[in-house]
Amino acid sequence: MSKGYDVYGTFRRVSTPNFWRLQSLGIFDDVHLIPADLVDLSSLIEAIRMSKPNEVYNLAAQSFVGASFTTPIGTGLITGMGVVKVLEAVRQTDKNIRLYQASTSELFGNVSTKVQNEDTPFYPQSPYSAAKLYGHWMVEIYRDAYDMFTCCGILFNHESPLRGMEFVTRKISNAAAKIKLGLQSKLTLGNVMSKRDWGYAPEYVESMWLMLQQESPEDYVIATNEIHSVKEFVHTAFEYLDLSDDHLKIDKSLFRPLDVPYLQGDYSKAEAKMNWRPKIRFKDLVKIMVDSDVKNWTRWLNGERFPWDAPNYPTELSILTETKKI
């Protein structure tokens, strides 16, 4: 929008619509919303006909790695086959549309290389990453077979205060805020030794846009080239709020059947070809997320009501209800 785009967004019909992110950013009324579903090709074609886009950014997926182990078939249909339906909708409607596909660092999986770039072999370790890999290769096939401008951003973990609470970074920042405010005593996690390359989501979205502005379509790794463990994320968040690491509790039942121990990206190609580089680093990212959750819980305790995701979670709702009584 800041670049002068007229923005259309698709959304999946549910019994209780949820647009809290758009509302919290103050842009709900500025986005043209069109109902569509990745399992329904006709709805995607209709969305493209209605919006007549120059660029399509496919960010839709069943995107939670842990959930993909319990819903592997649904994950394959949405995260894998859904990409093909988006590609077909573009191909059948207007092949001049430029298309961005959200790939993931999870494609690399259990690799032996210390740092991953565009030439690193893929070795997926979850139904989610396997489905993403199918979509990734289909984007490349459509690019070559139909001469379409399609590209994939192989984005390493990108976080912000808008991250869902089921994801570990937001789970940490939210719990740290509640512990600081006396609303919670422990943060319970599974494998805290996994290491990831964490960046700031708004900067990564800028890279998506840059990919579609290039003369030719190519795939790019987007990362920070820094690596930190989940335990480091917890320590940094707790230390920032003067909390002890004793508030952390490990529950082995939360471990995944397969887990990726180490992912670190090399963004050299993006820097060389698009002049893109990350600015927000690890400690600043943690502070941004923790500050946001402390602010939101404080606002709620002071009686404010505003667009926020906490009321959508039963565990959070019980706390919100109790604080309202107080």
267's tokens: 């963004």
- 210 by DSSP, 3-state: which? helix
Q: What is the pLDDT of residue 102?
A: 98
Chain segment 61-70, per-residue pLDDT in tens: 998 888 899 9
Confidence at 262, pLDDT banded by 50, 70, 90:
confident
Other beta carbons less than 10 A from residue 318's beta carbon? 10
Angle between helices 230-240 and 168-180 (to 10 degrees): 30
Confidence at 324, pLDDT banded by 50, 70, 90:
low
Catalytic residue among 57, 128, 142, 220: 128
Confidence at 130, pLDDT banded by 50, 70, 90:
very high
Catalytic residue among 93, 106, 120, 316: 106
DSSP class of 37: -
CA 42 to chain centre: 26
Q: Clarify whether 128 is annotated catalytic.
A: yes
Give the phi and the psi of residue 285 in degrees, each rounded to 5. -60, -45
Closest to 158 (Cα-Cα) out of 70, 59, 11:
59
Q: Clarify whether 106 is annotated catalytic.
A: yes
d(C-alpha 302, C-alpha 294), whole Å: 12
Other beta carbons less than 10 A from residue 132's beta carbon? 30
Domain 1-155 falls in which CATH fold? Rossmann fold (3.40.50)
d(C-alpha 157, C-alpha 169), whole Å: 10
Catalytic residue among 10, 75, 104, 120: 104
pLDDT, averaged across the chain: 94
Would the pLDDT of 272 be above 80? Answer: yes
Instruction: Give CA angle at 220 (216, 225), nearest 5°.
Output: 150
Q: What is the pLDDT of residue 273?
A: 98
Would the pLDDT of 302 be above 80? Answer: yes
d(C-alpha 287, C-alpha 294), whole Å: 10
Other beta carbons less than 10 A from residue 42's beta carbon? 11
CA distances from residue 155 to 67, 118, 272 in whole angstroms, order as listed: 20, 11, 17
CA dihedral 154, 160, 163, 168 (to 10 degrees): 80
Chain segment 188-219, per-residue pLDDT in tens: 999 999 999 999 999 999 999 999 999 999 99
d(C-alpha 309, C-alpha 299), whole Å: 14
Would the pLDDT of 306 be above 90? Answer: yes
Percent of all residues in the chain with a pLDDT value above 90, rounded to a whole number: 86
Q: Clarify whether 218 is annotated catalytic.
A: no
- Host H or E run for residue 69: helix 65-70
- 152 by DSSP, 3-state: which? strand
122's tokens: 């893929």
Q: What is the pLDDT of residue 129?
A: 96
DSSP class of 257: S
CA distances from residue 219 to 121, 124, 139, 142, 297 in whole angstroms, order as listed: 14, 18, 10, 13, 40
Chain segment 146-200, per-residue pLDDT in tens: 999 999 999 999 999 999 999 999 999 999 999 999 999 999 999 999 999 999 9
Q: What is the pLDDT of residue 107?
A: 96
